[in-house]
């Protein structure tokens, strides 16, 4: 007799809703952290420079999110869980402007940004990213 354990299966529509809710919650928490106000010792070393310094792949300290900045101003955002999505970025002085599309809405965000003295750490708001 074959028995399927249905305790862990979620119907398709509810699964999509749960996935979308989890995805949105993750990004709301992430960007809230990036926009939080406050100064720390890192701010003494912030040195925004040319747009070429940001080009490449960066992973956040927790390993949950990766940004890939391209020369043409395009951007790939890759969460640890879930699909990646694309957007664009513009740098003006010490401001980083991100524009991207999530499954249910488009977002435009502005953050302060900077690099550590040796350029291996990128700070966007209060979040830190290591160069890959």
Q: What is the pLDDT of residues 8-59, one digit of tens each?
A: 455 666 666 655 655 555 555 555 455 444 444 444 444 445 567 899 999 9
Tokens of 81: 């869980």
Tokens of 56: 């490449």
CATH architecture of 12-131: Beta Barrel (2.40)
> What's the predicted TM-score (pTM) here?
0.65
| Domain spans, the chain | 12-131
**3-state class (DSSP) for residue 50:** coil
């Amino acid at each position: 007799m074959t028995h399927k354990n249905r305790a862990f299966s979620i119907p398709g529509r509810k699964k999509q809703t749960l996935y979308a809710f989890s995805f949105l919650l993750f990004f709301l928490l992430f960007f809230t952290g990036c926009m939080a106000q406050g100064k720390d010792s890192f701010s003494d070393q912030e040195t925004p420079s040319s747009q070429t310094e940001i080009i490449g792949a960066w992973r956040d300290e927790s390993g949950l999110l990766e940004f890939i900045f391209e020369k043409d101003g395009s951007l790939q955002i890759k969460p640890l869980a879930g699909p990646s999505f694309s957007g664009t970025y513009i740098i003006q002085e010490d401001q980083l402007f991100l524009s991207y599309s999530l499954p249910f809405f488009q977002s435009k965000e502005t953050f302060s940004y900077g690099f550590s003295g040796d350029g291996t750490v990128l700070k966007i708001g209060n979040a830190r990213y290591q160069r890959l």
